[in-house]
Amino acid sequence: MNASFDLWRPVLRSAVIAAAVLVSGNHAMAESPDPYADETPAQRDARMGWWRDAKFGMFIHWGVYAVPAGTYEGKRIGGIGEWIMRRAEIPVDTYRGYAREFNPVHYDPAAWADLARQAGMKYVVITSKHHDGFALYDSKVTDWDVVDATPYGRDLLKPLVEAVKERGLKMGFYYSQAQDWTHPGGGKAGMKEGEGWDEKHKGDFDRYLETIAYPQTKEILSRYELDVLWWDTPTWMNEKRAAKLIPLLELRPGIIHNNRLGGGFKGDTDTPEQHIPATGIPGRDWEVCMTMNDTWGYKSYDDHWKPTGDLIRKLSDIVSKGGNFLLNIGPKADGTIPAESIERLREVGRWMDVNGEAIYATTASPFARLAWGRCTTKADAGGGALYLHVFDWPADGKLKVPGLRSKVSSASLLDGGAELEVQAVDNGVEITVPAEAPDENVSIIKLNYAGGLEVVNALPRQEKDGSIRLGAVEADIHNRGYSKQARVERKDGPPNIGFWEDPGAWLQWTFRVDKPGKFRVMAETATTAGGVRLLVESGGRKIEAGISRTQGYGDYSTKELAVVELTSAGEHKLALRPVGKGWHPVNLRKVVLVPVEP
């Protein structure tokens, strides 16, 4: 029993009582929607401590869907592999037939756990049951599980939990508490309660919860030494239904659960999927889950692999914003892991061996943004360290850290430890770096500082002529998951925002105004179609404007989009959002606010 257990236990107990009352009576759940609502900050910090330090985890989506691997009746089924049953509306009996071919004879849980450890991951979360309802362990409430329905006939989870724990990592189970496309009455996304595509789906959802979801949650929590319970898709859930699952958490004191239970329960962690929140999620613990290609469950023909460098930069980006990274693998039906995933994880692991100090147990960057990369920090008694994650190595051998006012006592490369010269300049510090970057993706410079950490975040502000220049690197890029991610591109010329293909993605700048007044919003853009429109939001106004078609994505033109009035001196924001209909990808270099009367 550890210290965090003791701190945490009374809190959960009161939450359990609250939940029990809510289940039996008609009290409004709003009184205590969060089972840890009464937790003190110290109790919460103790409970979340290992998770906050871990930063990097392995997600595993594995199940019967790895047999069809994306193809049904000779057709490639679009979307994510583990959704094949839902998307192709495969009849229950046909889908159950795949279980007879699910025989992971090459499954090697020790090798899986080794791979996670070598990659630098500190925890593993595996699908104990996904939306197809198939359990990877021997469930006593159904025969739709690996022991009863497959030739393999053995629990897949127990040896993995053991292997993971033996290596000192933490263990989590994903559990689809509401969606279930096999058992009668189970939830189905995009359908009304009670609907399905097969006679076998007929049944009552509450009965489904009573006979499958609640007992299975109890099974996994009581049988396995879990540190995380990862709920997913609260289809058809409500407060009353979700509240019945909360008391079961008592079976694993200290367990961390996410925000996807439904019924208003916020859980411990937010879980942005397939995208990195532009400015993190202040005030919440959060974890980005992401695939290495475009699917969670194995799809034989998904070759859209992210390069290792991209994965490492994503890790830096997420951690610099205060989050964790849960990176997925989708093993095959024979128990092997796709070679592309293994290769990438080993490469990430080699980077972590050298640079892990800049990841583990760090806190978010104190800088609003740094043009060349990201930053993480660690404080200690007399000062602390800043880890500069350099994506774009300076060509002139000088790395500038604008706004850093702390007293820097030393600077060194994490790779090899070479000391670097550092000097205070006008607006921060400047580090003299070798001509070659130690790492082609992310090189880490460690700055030790004495005393307190002092950073003055300089916002873009008015120049002598009164104009305000808002460049691509100054923008907060708000992406959504499951679509192309808009990002800063550095080709020839000034950086631009590119891959702005999703009409749901939007940009925002924060800047300072010293001399209020009216400003013309001038945007420098490139797009190859006519009729593309943007919504400008600033100074309390929303103005729609068209942008000019150009000869290509490297051919920019500048156009006035709107006139906005910024009536006070101080901090202001300007956002640009695609106007959905007729959206066509746009490259954007900068926006300049030009005073109407200089």
Give whichever of 62 and 367 is closer to ligand FHN, judged by the CB atom.
Answer: 62
CA angle centred on 128, ends 318 and 87, rounded to 5°: 80
- Write down the least CB distance from residue 41 to ligand FHN, Å: 28
- Residue closer to ligand FHN (CB basis): 61 or 313: 61
What residues does 20 pair with on adjacent strands? Answer: none
Query: What whole-number distance in Å separates Cα of residue 118 and Cα of residue 125?
Result: 16
Q: How many residues form the binding site for ligand FHN (CB under 6 A)?
A: 9
> What's the CA gap between 376 and 53, in Å, rounded?
12
Residues 12-51 as x/- pattern, contact with ligand FHN by CB under 6 A: ----------------------------------------
Phi (first) and psi of residue 339, to 5 degrees: -55, -35
Both tokens of 321, joined, read: 């914003």
536-559 CB burial, b ≥16 within 10 A, e <16: bbbbeeeeebebebbeebeebeee
Stretch that binds ligand FHN, among 13-21, 75-83, 112-120, 219-227 (CB under 6 A): 75-83
Q: Which one of the spans 78-86, 145-153, 193-201, 242-250 is the region binding ligand FHN (CB under 6 A)?
A: 78-86
Nearer to ligand FHN by C-beta: 212 or 370? Answer: 212
Does residue 82 touch ligand FHN according to CB under 6 A? Answer: yes
Report how far residue 592's alpha carbon sits from residue 344's, in angstroms, rounded to the nearest whole number: 41
Least distance (Å) from ligand FHN to the CB of residue 88? 15
Cα dihedral: 556, 559, 562, 567 (round 10): 80
Tell me whether residue 60 or residue 447 sits nearer to ligand FHN (CB atom).
Answer: 60
Sign of CA dihedral 458, 461, 465, 471: positive
Stretch that binds ligand FHN, among 80-88, 192-200, 303-311, 506-514 (CB under 6 A): 80-88
Q: How far is the CB of 262 from ligand FHN (least distance, A)?
A: 12
**Taking CB under 6 A as the rule, does residue 273 contact ligand FHN?**
yes
62 forms part of the interface with ligand FHN (CB under 6 A): no
In 3D space, the residue among 102, 106, 115 whose CA is nearest the CA of residue 60 turns out to be 115
Smallest separation (angstroms) from ligand FHN to the CB of 232: 5
270 binds ligand FHN (CB under 6 A): no
* Residue closer to ligand FHN (CB basis): 291 or 362: 291
Identify whether the C-beta of residue 69 lies closer than 8 Å to the C-beta of residue 293.
no
Of 15 and 66, nearer to ligand FHN (C-beta) is 66
**Smallest separation, CB 353 to ligand FHN (Å):** 28
- Among the listed ranges 79-87, 93-101, 360-368, 386-394, the one in contact with ligand FHN (CB under 6 A) is 79-87
The residue among 295 and 362 lying less far from ligand FHN, judged by its C-beta, is 295
Smallest gap from residue 376 Cβ to ligand FHN (A)? 25
Contact status: 302 vs ligand FHN (CB under 6 A): no
Pairing of strands 170-175, 228-231: parallel
- Judged by beta carbon, residue 162 or residue 294, the one nearer ligand FHN is 294
Smallest distance from ligand FHN to CB 80, Å: 5
Residue 235 or 448 with smaller CB distance to ligand FHN:
235
Buried b (16+ CB within 10 A) or exposed e, 336-365: bbbeebbebbebbbebbebbbbbbbebebb
Nearest approach, Cβ of 427 to ligand FHN (angstroms)? Answer: 42
CB 252 within 8 A of CB 226: yes
Residue with Cβ nearer ligand FHN (136 or 399): 136
Q: Which stretch binds ligand FHN (CB under 6 A): 76-84, 134-142, 146-154, 566-574?
A: 76-84
In the complex, least distance from residue 258 CB atom to ligand FHN, rounded to whole angstroms: 9
Find, among 368, 374, 432, the residue nearest to 400 by Cα: 432
Query: Of the two residues 82 and 502, which places its CB atom closer to ligand FHN in the complex?
Result: 82
User: Which CB atom, from 131 or from 590, has the smaller least distance to ligand FHN?
Assistant: 131
**Residue 289 interacting with ligand FHN (CB under 6 A):** yes
Nearest to 123 by CA among 19, 49, 221: 49
Q: What is the 3-state secondary structure (H, E, C) of 276-318?
A: CCECECCCCEEEEEECCCCCCCCCCCCCCCCCHHHHHHHHHHH
> Which residues, in sequence order, are CB contacts of 310 under 8 Å at separation 6+?
none
- Which tokens hold the place of 497? 């925002």
Among 19, 69, 80, 413, binds ligand FHN (CB under 6 A): 80
Instruction: Tokens for 394, please give them.
Output: 């300076």
Of the pair 12, 80, the CB lying nearest ligand FHN is at: 80
Q: Is 180 in the site for ligand FHN (CB under 6 A)?
A: no
Q: With contact defined as beta carbons under 8 Å apart, do 480 and 491 qualify? A: no
Residue 296 as a binder of ligand FHN (CB under 6 A): the answer is yes
The least distance separating ligand FHN from the CB of residue 307, rounded to whole angstroms, comes to: 22
Q: At what angle do helices 109-118 and 339-355 cross, to 10 degrees?
A: 40
Closest distance to ligand FHN from the beta carbon of 69 (Å)? 15
Distance of CA 279 to the CA centre of its chain: 12
Segment 116 to 175, residues that bind ligand FHN, using CB under 6 A = none
Q: Provide, rounded to whole angstroms, the least separation between the CB of residue 501 and ligand FHN.
A: 21
- The answer to whether 372 and 490 have CB atoms below 8 angstroms apart is no
Kind of pairing between the strands at 533-538 and 496-500 = unpaired
Least gap, CB of 82 to ligand FHN (angstroms): 5
Least spacing, CB of residue 61 vs ligand FHN, in Å: 6
Interacting positions 480-539 with ligand FHN (CB under 6 A): none
Residue with tokens 């891959």: 499
Contacts of 453 (CB under 8 A, 6+ apart): 366, 377, 379, 383, 384, 386, 406
Cβ distance to ligand FHN smaller for residue 260 or 374? 260
Residue 6 token pair:
């003791």
Q: Quote the least distance from Cβ 83 to ligand FHN, whole Å.
A: 6
With CB under 6 A as the contact rule, which of the stretches 29-37, 77-85, 352-360, 388-396 interacts with ligand FHN? 77-85
560: Cβ–Cβ under 8 A, 6 or more apart, which residues?
A: 520, 521, 522, 545
Looking only at residues 196 through 235 of this chain, which bind ligand FHN when binding is defined by CB under 6 A? 232-233
Interacting residues with ligand FHN (CB under 6 A) = 61, 80, 82-83, 232-233, 273, 289, 296
